[in-house]
Amino acid sequence: MRTTADQLRDVLDHWQTGTGPLYQQLADAMVSLAESGSLDHGTRLPSERALAQALHLSRNTVTAAYQRLRDDAWLDGRPGAAPTLGSRARGLDAMSLHDRFAKILPGSQAPLVGLSSACPPPAPSVVEAFADPRAVLDASPTLGTGYAALGDPDLVDVIVERLRAAGIPAHPDEVVVTSGGQQALWLALTEMASPGTPVALESVTYPGVFDAISSSGSRPLSLPMGPDGLDVESAIKLLRAARPDVAYFTTFHNPTGTVMSTADALAIAECAAATGTTLVDDRITATLTLNGSPAPPLASLGTGASVITISGLSKVFWGGLRIGWLHTNATLAAQLRQRKAAMDLGSSAFMQRVARELMTDSYDETLAWRIGSLRESLDATVEAIREFAPDWRFRMPDGGPSLWVEVPGINADRFAARAADAGVPVAPGTAFEVAPGGGASHFRLPFYLPPDDMRLGVKVLAGLAP
């Protein structure tokens, strides 16, 4: 088990030079570990004497660092004694998993304009397929046993073609078909994350990841983000210091719509290879390009890092298909395939067959339609914000179906509650934050609905803000 002193030593070893006096660097290193969740609220820290000996520093340096942290309300306890991290350092337990995920799920009542979920309605190709599935499948939809527990082989072949086209040298025995991307994520994290060890996440992230972290007995490690996405330099320092079992990234980032550059993706992958960290590369939204292009798949970069690539059909076709997949090495894939089969006897054989035909015959056409629809809705959303809520702040997304909106002066949870009462439910920023504060004054605004609906939704929400 790595001690607090070990983590501090690693952070200090990789810290930039010229960041102030040594006691300030030590205090900053402690804050970075607390903010990331690597050290939790209530953690008992080494005494001044013990930490000075472990880090080969003078006791005066440690005393000054601890005092600075006490002054800033990071530590509890009297000088000279072993302190504990105070209430400013709170991790995953700040919000229950039920409360967190419930914030992004649609309610039981039909809303005026439903904006809590970032899952789009079905594409025309899906509507046509279900109107006459026999024509799409060129056969009866009720052939066989109805089970394809280990994955429909023809669907797997189509997925392999997609992976190879993206630069991943995939083979059929390396693919696991899952019931959507959510199940793929849960399988990957619960298999790879060890109890008590960290899983690294961007400081705001997809809420569906937290149940998997809790189920594995692991804990989150928050990687800092700036206005343009992941702060890669600071993230690499934390990865080197904490050496997490797993690091999870989304492309395009959910919920901010930012994207890593190819150079940054390569730096992250090289760091993971050096630290032995498995990368979970969630590419559910990777094809929804609005501005520029996504980073290449982490598994295509040739760094030697262990990578699990996740994707699915929910954002291009329809979440109701419940078809996703993951790609990894053949040994792990076989284990996860059997584990999934034991869990639910595999994804619906009928849905797998429909997905196979949709991907073969309609993928490019449907993707072009989906991106065109998103751009139309985004234009209407931005126009409505400028008219009804000019003080809202947001960054135009590089891709994906959502804006990450900051409303000055709001309490995100109270705003979301008022929005739900007004018939326009949204997901508050608190649902996405790894450590408290990351989602303050923010909410996620999906823009997949028709332009008139988006305009009405923004108008109602604008009337609820202070």
* Residue 105 covered by a domain: yes
Instruction: Please state, in angstroms and rounded to a whole number, the distance separating the CA atoms of residues 178 and 183.
Output: 6
Helix and strand tally (H, E) in the chain? 17, 14
Q: Do residues 385 and 290 both lie within one domain?
A: no
Are 116 and 256 found together in one domain? no
- 445, two tokens: 């605004």
Q: What is the DSSP letter of 303?
A: S
The candidate with the shortest Cα–Cα distance to 464, out of 432, 423, 404, is: 423
438: β partners = none
Spatial distance between the Cα atoms of 23 and 58, rounded to a whole number of angstroms: 10
CB 51 within 8 A of CB 45: yes
Q: Are 279 and 308 in contact (CB under 8 A)?
A: yes
How many angstroms separate the CA atoms of 97 and 80, rounded? 38
Phi, psi (5° rounding) for residue 253?
Answer: -60, 135
Among the listed residues 436, 445, 434, the one whose alpha carbon sits nearest the alpha carbon of residue 407: 445
Per-residue pLDDT of the chain (466 residues; tens, 9 = 90+): 567 777 777 766 655 444 568 888 888 787 777 766 666 666 788 888 888 888 888 888 888 888 888 877 778 776 666 788 765 554 444 455 556 666 666 666 678 899 998 889 999 999 999 999 988 888 777 778 888 888 999 999 999 999 999 999 999 999 999 999 999 999 999 999 999 889 999 999 999 899 899 889 998 999 999 989 999 999 999 999 999 999 999 999 999 999 999 999 999 999 999 999 999 999 999 999 999 789 999 999 999 999 999 999 999 999 999 999 999 999 999 999 999 999 998 889 999 999 999 999 999 999 999 999 999 999 999 999 999 999 999 999 999 999 999 999 898 888 998 999 999 999 999 999 987 778 889 999 999 999 999 999 999 999 998 7
Any bridge partners for residue 311, and if so which?
325
CATH number for position 28: 1.10.10.10
Tokens linked to 432: 């996405």
Helix H or strand E encompassing 402: strand 402-406
Paired with 310 in beta bridges are 282, 326
Does residue 206 share a domain with residue 160?
Answer: yes
Taking alpha carbons only, the member of 252, 268, 279, 101 closest to residue 189 is: 279
* Shared domain check, 298 and 203: yes
Instruction: Looking at the structure, tell me whether residues 248 and 343 fall in a common domain.
Output: yes
Final residue in a domain of this structure, among 304, 329, 362: 362
Alpha-carbon gap, residue 176 to 168, rounded angstroms? 15
Of 306, 340, 362, which closes a domain? Answer: 362
Buried b (16+ CB within 10 A) or exposed e, 169-206: ebeeebbbbbbbbbbbbbbbbbbbbeeebbbbbbbbbb
Same-domain check for residues 188 and 310: yes
Q: How many domains does the chain have?
A: 3
CA 184 vs. chain centroid, Å, equals: 13
pTM as predicted: 0.81
Assigned token pair, 238: 């934390």
| Residue at 134 is within a domain | no
Residue 358 per-residue DSSP state:
H
Q: Are residues 259 and 271 in the same domain?
A: yes
Output the six-digit token pair for 81: 């004694």
Residues 149 and 297 in one domain: yes
Please report, for the domain that includes residue 325, its CATH number: 3.40.640.10
- The answer to whether residue 57 sits within a structural domain is yes
Q: What phi and psi, each to the nearest 5 degrees, are found at residue 424? A: -130, 70
Residue 129 inside a domain? The answer is: no
Strands 427-428 and 324-327: unpaired
Reported as a single tens digit per residue, the pLDDT across 99-139 is 666 666 666 667 889 999 888 999 999 999 999 998 888 87
Domain of residue 34, residue span:
4-90
Residue 58 belongs to a domain: yes
Contact in structure between 8 and 26 (CB atoms under 8 Å): yes
Does residue 132 sit within a domain? no
- Look at residue 97 in the predicted model and tell me its pLDDT: 53
- Let me know whether 189 and 327 are in one domain: yes
Question: Is 35 within a domain?
Answer: yes
Domain co-membership, 31 together with 169: no
List phi, psi (to 5°) of 289: -80, 125
Can you say whether the dihedral through the CA atoms of 141, 348, 103, 438 is positive or negative? negative
Q: Are 191 and 325 members of one domain?
A: yes
Q: Is the peptide bond before 121 cis (omega within 30 degrees of 0)?
A: no
389 and 328 share one domain: no
Of 323, 340, 362, the position where a domain reaches its end is: 362
Q: Does 130 fall in a domain?
A: no
SS3 230: strand
